[in-house]
Amino acid sequence: MTKVTILGASGGVGQPLSLLLKLSPYITELSLYDLRNVEGVSKDLSHINTNSKCTGHGEIDIEKALKGANLVIIPAGVPRRPGMSRDDLFKINAKIVKSLVSYTGKFAPGARILIISNPVNSMVPIAVEQLKLMGKFQPGNVVGVTMLDLVRAETFVVDFLGEDSTLDKTKMDKDITVIGGHSGNTIVPVFLNKKLGETLKMKKCYDEFIHRVQFGGDEVVKAKDGAGSATLSMALAGYKFAEEILRSLHKAKSTMTTIPAFVYLPGISNGKEVQEKVGNKNLEYIALPVNLVYGSVASIDTTVLDNLTSEETKLLNIAVKELIGNIDKGKKFIIGAS
């Protein structure tokens, strides 16, 4: 029995994410929670002839929504409008994430928690500190979903190089990863296949590529013209990441992945090694490729840090400076409030 709960399931991200997860062979109950329209969304999905049961829960029903959940995914919160940075969402989303994580700690204490709500760089520290306060924090169980940056990087690199190569957007996971955090300058694309990066440089489009990955979200916000931010591509990214966690939950052995996620370093076996390699012993959170055991992050694949180019190192140093501020803001929201 595997129960997955989505908090914020009726939203722009929540609905297509729920649809994709309704197809997952790993899920027996898909539990949807939102403050609005959740009956309609869950009834609609419950007519799909896959093996999972879909249940819907409104505001007063959060205990039922969460009880027994193995995995809780949180896309609840407001999205960006034109002219807004992810940090502008902090005030509203911090309260939402704090409250939903508290309920999760209370009603589904062992669940793996995936944070999609922005700004991820601050929301994950909020979640971790809140669970610590409650005595419910389990290392490796709380991660921020940065997968959309990787999906974008894989797409854009083929956009730039596709014409004169045989690159396939769906098979890029060994060629590129994205580390750092999930907003603007904290997003650091890294080429695992150095040849690709070199080709981009030769074609004089490396800088443009980096900028597109870092600010790809703005393209969507602008095109939607006030109707929100990325929802469909985010749903796909969230689904891919959740499937990786679910696959790992169903396996006895550890799963090595090339998938990055934003994680709390002191909770991870080689967290100190990561801090040393990044060159900042105070850095508590970063997105890097994770190794999973039973759906929890057990360790980080640090090889990516050993092979950075000078450009990538520069980008990472800029990212780390900004990350420290984002992380601090999230921590203070909880610690300052206790």
280/268 Cα distance (integer angstroms): 16
Q: Shortest Cβ distance from residue 141 to ligand NAI (Å)?
A: 18
Contacting ligand NAI within 21-60 (CB under 6 A): 33-36
Which one among 2, 10, 141, 177 touches ligand NAI, defined by CB under 6 A? 10
- Residue 75 near ligand NAI by CB under 6 A: yes
How far, CA to CA in Å, does 46 sit from each of 54, 60, 240? 5, 21, 21
**Binding map of ligand NAI across residues 195-234, x = CB under 6 A, - = no contact:** ---------------------------------xxxx--x
Token pair recorded at residue 264? 């709390």
How far, CA to CA in Å, does 2 sit from each of 86, 174, 251? 32, 30, 13
59/266 Cα distance (integer angstroms): 34
Q: Which residues are catalytic?
A: 182
The answer to whether the beta carbons of residues 203 and 161 sit under 8 Å apart is yes
- Residue 74 near ligand NAI by CB under 6 A: no
- Residue 182 near ligand NAI by CB under 6 A: yes
290 Cβ contact partners less than 8 Å away, ≥ 6 residues apart: 143, 257, 259, 260, 261, 263, 297, 299, 300, 301
- Residue 312 near ligand NAI by CB under 6 A: no
Amino acid at 237: A
Q: How big is the chain, counted in residues? A: 338
User: How many residues in the shown chain lie near ligand NAI by CB under 6 A?
Assistant: 34
Region of 111-119, 124-132, 154-162, 266-274 interacting with ligand NAI (CB under 6 A): 111-119
- Residue 152 near ligand NAI by CB under 6 A: no
- Residue 118 near ligand NAI by CB under 6 A: yes
279/160 Cα distance (integer angstroms): 32
Token pair recorded at residue 130? 């809140």
Which one among 101, 145, 221, 287 touches ligand NAI, defined by CB under 6 A? 145
The answer to whether the beta carbons of residues 230 and 148 sit under 8 Å apart is yes
- Residue 113 near ligand NAI by CB under 6 A: no
**Residue 35 or 256 with smaller CB distance to ligand NAI:** 35
Q: Which residues bind ligand NAI (CB under 6 A)?
A: 7-8, 10-14, 33-36, 75-80, 89, 93, 96, 99-100, 116-118, 120, 145, 148, 182, 228-231, 234
